[in-house]
Structure 1
Amino acid sequence: MPYYASPEQVMRDRSEYARKGISRGRSVAVLTYADGVLFIAENPSSTLHKVGELYDRIGFAAVGRYSEFESLRVAGVRLADVRGYSYNRRDVTGRVIANAYAQTLGEVFTQHMKPFEVELCVAEVGDTPEADQLFRLTFDGSVVDEPDFVVMGGQAEAVSADLREHFLPGMGLADALRVGVSALSTVSPATTGGNGAPTQLTAEQLEVAVLDRRRPQRAFRRVVGAALRSLLDGGEAVAEPAPEPHTAAHAPSHPAPGTPAGLGDPAAPDTGGTAGSEGDEDPPRG
């Protein structure tokens, strides 16, 4: 007799497998603050990023298996570029990308033997704090619109409980960063060793970025080095130079036909372009 398992048992096994893989990673927190959206990830690596840019005012954060969520990030960049070039840059929204991710994750979860061991957050900064959007996507394609913050991976429930106690809407960047880092530090293996109280995560152990609504074009920027250390110490971020004016975006390569949700080929390598890249020397080709 061939091996048989009920569909309910198969789905339970896949869900348990994906949850275990995601929980082994370090947590990521995405918070809203007065001037935009803040990404905080416990990540000692300086090259393998958990946080990135998808388009002008849309950011991406993920936990789980790096190779899988990096391929999804690249596919999201291509989807945003194709849609923005084919129609209008205003037609590229966080909801559109989140729906595409949900469809792709759902198809992988139901049709493939192994699901993606990833959890994603697609964040879009609006013109006002009320217009900010945070979309949380799980391994099975479920998508939820979160109001104030999103915590993924590791001991997410403990971090969320700490944030619910200390998070306040409309906080400044420095205050929001301290609240988020404090919540991540309570469960981090790097800070809970010994018999004393948990220590604070340092700038070298963190990956921090923001979607700043005050920037005219591309809102995404990373907070590193002296700026990050200044914020963690209670100061203000080091001022950065004003961004250069942008020109029209170049024509992106179109995804392969038949790919789920129009995300392109998730396994295709990154070509090196940045999300929503502008300022290329070659003019767009019709």
Structure 2
Amino acid sequence: MSMPFYVSPEQQMKDRADFARKGIARGRSVAVVQYADGVLFVSENPSQALHKVSEIYDRIAFAAVGRYNEFENLRIAGVRLADVRGYSYDRRDVTCRALANAYAQTLGAIFSSGGEKPYEVELFVAEIGDSAEQDQVYRLTYDGQVADEHGFAVMGGAADVVADHLKEHYRDGLDLAGALGVAVAALGHSENGDRVIPVGDLEVAALDRTRTQPRKFVRLRESRLAELLGDRQPGQQEQPGEATPPGSQDAPVAPPVAPPVAPPVAPPVAPPADPDRG
């Protein structure tokens, strides 16, 4: 009977953490940005069916990166937990903090278990309050750690590069258009140069406290994104040398002037023939 190889607990946890981090880094980043009227979720996601950002409850939203089947199971479990608690007690008893704790317990138990692989996911759970100071954003990692985020946060893909760009350009009190522009520019930023993400490849949703309905979650469709981004869309920038000089649109345009036409020149006439020369 062969004996299994011994692996120390420290090495086993390190291998599981490296495995989860590599799987998460292969995806595209998700940025969460707090703005004056709520919390904005922005991601590059060409798929129209598989959403990274979803609603959990009235004032609570969920965003994730990593393996879709794994974070979709977590999303469904969170929706069921919120529905049961809201039905059994009161809708105000459903809080983002309780959901974050439940997710942390689940992810931590799976990560520390030796019988199955760790989940290759990271999560955002956010809730808006009556004012910006009451907003809550929690980030949960693959091993069940919970972090309370403020202002902005990024996970998945090249998260460090995107977060550095946001740190330079983000400021408190941005409106929706400003927060969206900063987030999209950060997602398109890379060490090899910046790129413009097409509007059709963006998945954007928000928790908007200005909505009159009890449910504050709203998805921003392509037409709305194009309106908010304006000249940040690809193909809308003016090409070098083609800019219209200021005031030229209001100045009258003179009709083209034809060049002067020279009078016709008569062809030369041969002198009369000399009858004495044959």
Does TM-score exceed 0.5, indicating one fold?
A: yes
In the alignment, the residues of structure 2 paired with residue 94 and residue 40 of structure 1 have an alpha-carbon distance, to the nearest angstrom, of: 19
2:228 is equivalent to residue 228 of structure 1: no
Match of 1:67 among 66, 69, 76: 69
Report Cα offsets for 1:169-219 as digits up to 9, x if no partner.
Answer: 11000000000000000139xxx6xxxx52211211100000001123000
In the alignment, the residues of structure 1 paired with residue 58 and residue 231 of structure 2 have an alpha-carbon distance, to the nearest angstrom, of: 29
In the alignment, the residues of structure 1 paired with residue 194 and residue 161 of structure 2 have an alpha-carbon distance, to the nearest angstrom, of: 14
Aligned match of 1:264: none
Aligned match of 1:212: 208
* Deviation for aligned residue 1:234: 6.2
* 234 and 95 in structure 1: CA distance in 2 versus 1, 3 angstrom threshold: farther
Task: Give the 5 Å matches for 1:1-286.
Answer: 1-111=3-113, 112-187=115-190, 197-216=193-212, 217-233=214-230
Stretches of structure 1 lacking an aligned partner (at least 5 in a row): 236-286
**8 Å Cα contact 1:121-1:150 kept in structure 2:** no
Report Cα offsets for 1:204-250 as digits up to 9, x if no partner.
Answer: 11000000011230000100121111111169xxxxxxxxxxxxxxx
Higher RCO (CA 8 Å, separation ≥ 6 residues): 1
Residue type of the alignment partner of 1:74: I
Residue type of the alignment partner of 1:205: D
Residue type of the alignment partner of 1:198: D
Q: Secondary structure at the match of 2:182?
A: helix
Report Cα offsets for 1:117-176 as digits up to 9, x if no partner.
Answer: 000000101100000111000000000001111100001011111101100111000000
Report Cα offsets for 1:84-139 as digits up to 9, x if no partner.
Answer: 00111011011000000000000000114300000000010110000011100000
Q: TM-score, normalised by structure 1?
A: 0.78
Q: Secondary structure at the match of 1:233?
A: helix
Residue type of the alignment partner of 1:68: E
Residue type of the alignment partner of 1:223: L
Residue type of the alignment partner of 2:177: A
Residue type of the alignment partner of 2:73: S
CA RMSD, Structure 1 to Structure 2 (Å): 1.4
Aligned length: 228
In the alignment, the residues of structure 2 paired with residue 16 and residue 136 of structure 1 have an alpha-carbon distance, to the nearest angstrom, of: 19
Q: TM-score, normalised by structure 2?
A: 0.80
Identity %: 61
**8 Å Cα contact 1:28-1:62 kept in structure 2:** yes
Report Cα offsets for 1:47-68 as digits up to 9, x if no partner.
Answer: 1000000000000000000000
* Deviation for aligned residue 1:4: 1.5
Stretches (4+) displaced over 6 A = none
